[in-house]
Structure 1
């Protein structure tokens, strides 16, 4: 009998916890990539086995994961991959985009209209990244497994909704978070949910420079999620974001990552949906990363 679909899964269902920052043995870039890719593949197969109710297959996959060294080995590889010399702090790209207008439009005490810009950093790993050091933002940081003071242990999908405008944010950072959501509909729901936490567009009527960048969403994904997916490319992602009221301000693609800054330019949802799981590229080498928005 076909199982009834439940509510969208929380981020905790897919994203592995982050290892405590103890000193770890250096791992080569090639070995790091291979281990992370293998772990992701096993996690995907495990989710499929769970969806089918195949307990035997689930147990077999768990055994394979343990043979790789389990979650500890994966976390060590992930932290190794986040080192500064491997492009670790993605917020440096965000600051390259934002700093020119922030320097020119904010007051000497880095406020605008008597207040500081507010940022919500989802999946925060550090309180010492480029955004934090810039001094331009009052930042609330959340992560499923907080590793230091200043980062609240919280699942974004379960975070209480803002009660009023004062509890909303000028910018939300989703850096390497969406790809950990285990199913396409959950990813769509996460993107939709960001709109509920951003300030109403039109806050900076006296500053066209700030209005061009805020309120906004900073989105970072592994490059293959967009460049080599069977179900997602740049045009489809842009259409999904437009249906949520977002317009692309800036983007950057490297060998490993894609970076986007999306400005929230209207409230409510536009036309263009629904966005179901539809093939946009063919080929046996494509991955199956998808975003579904009903």
Structure 2
């Protein structure tokens, strides 16, 4: 059978998904914020698929439609407003609540050598984790506009070369959902293993660390054709993680995963397979090959 040759497009970089930060303070209503974000995500996914299929005319048409709706600038305004404190922002507050039983141990550790936190997609220097002063924090984002946040793509970040460059916790808060393709999402989760490394922890800390803090919009797990909690847990367990905390809300799902034993298996077999049917489902999925 003849097959049509299409140009392969690399979508490994986060820059294909999450937009840069905007400093605009223009007000958008709560409902309008959600509508704008959903519409923008849908169009960006359609554009990424058109590029992947080699349909450049369609990709350009979608790009024009995105610009006609205000483009990245308007989307960025909505994204920042959605993460503001008066709209339930700063997901790290949930993380700090979960870590409350270990605070004394973390304080004692911080007095000598604080645990290291890598915050991917950082937007603020004043979130709950930063204010706690319990961690040595490295913050990265695709388009940093603040001193203290390094401009860097996690997928292109150099790998650790010594013990001091590993982290005790990696935060992916509202980051994985910005990766435009399912294979890229799987690659991001797999890459976290290369930055987390077990070491000798005190009794109070070893029940939690090293760990991954993962936050997603709730529809990614609760209303996807291809993803539910059972499948997400299976993927994470295959990577070597064990779920120790979880919180579900109408808007977001929060998870804390402890890395028990990094996987050596590279043939996972997690494909994009339908779990739920229905026209109102979204297409969020994670592929691990």
Contact kept? 1:250, 1:261, Cα under 8 Å: yes
| 1:212 aligned residue | 207
- Comparing 141-150 and 64-73, the one that deviates more: 64-73
Deviation at 1:106, TM superposition (A): 3.5
The correspondence for 2:154, drawn from 132, 156, 163, is 156
* 1:31 is the counterpart of 2:28: no
* 1:84 is the counterpart of 2:85: yes
Closer/same/farther in 2, CA of residues 5 and 70 from structure 1, 3 Å limit: closer
- Give the 3-state SS of the residue equivalent to 2:189 in structure 1: helix
- Comparing 40-49 and 173-182, the one that deviates more: 40-49
| 2:272 aligned residue | 277
Distance in structure 1 (CA, Å) of the matches to 2:254 and 2:131: 20
Deviation at 1:50, TM superposition (A): 1.1
* 1:189 is the counterpart of 2:184: no
| 2:128 aligned residue | 130
Closer/same/farther in 2, CA of residues 175 and 185 from structure 1, 3 Å limit: same
Distance in structure 1 (CA, Å) of the matches to 2:261 and 2:278: 37
Contact kept? 1:102, 1:210, Cα under 8 Å: no
Contact kept? 1:243, 1:272, Cα under 8 Å: no
Distance in structure 2 (CA, Å) of the matches to 1:33 and 1:8: 25
Give the number of aligned pairs.
286
Root-mean-square deviation over aligned CA pairs:
1.7
* Matched ranges for 1:43-192 at <5 A: 43-103=44-104, 105-108=105-108, 110-111=110-111, 114-192=112-190
Contact kept? 2:9, 2:52, Cα under 8 Å: no
Closer/same/farther in 2, CA of residues 99 and 144 from structure 1, 3 Å limit: same
Q: How big is each residue's C-alpha offset from its partner over 1:141-181, in whole Å with a ceiling of 9 and x where there is no partner?
A: 00000020000000000000000221100000000000011
Deviation at 1:7, TM superposition (A): 5.5
Q: How big is each residue's C-alpha offset from its partner over 1:108-132, in whole Å with a ceiling of 9 and x where there is no partner?
A: 5734xx3111000000001110000
Contact kept? 1:245, 1:269, Cα under 8 Å: no
- Give the 3-state SS of the residue equivalent to 1:106 in structure 2: helix
* Structure 1: tracts of 5 or more residues without a match: none
TM-score (norm 1): 0.93
- Give the 3-state SS of the residue equivalent to 1:92 in structure 2: helix
Distance in structure 1 (CA, Å) of the matches to 2:188 and 2:275: 22
TM-score (norm 2): 0.94
Deviation at 1:6, TM superposition (A): 6.0
- Give the 3-state SS of the residue equivalent to 2:110 in structure 1: coil
Distance in structure 2 (CA, Å) of the matches to 1:109 and 1:238: 30
Distance in structure 2 (CA, Å) of the matches to 1:144 and 1:168: 20
Distance in structure 2 (CA, Å) of the matches to 1:90 and 1:107: 21
The correspondence for 2:216, drawn from 197, 216, 221, is 221
Closer/same/farther in 2, CA of residues 285 and 194 from structure 1, 3 Å limit: same
* Structure 2: tracts of 5 or more residues without a match: none
Contact kept? 1:243, 1:269, Cα under 8 Å: no
* 1:18 is the counterpart of 2:21: yes
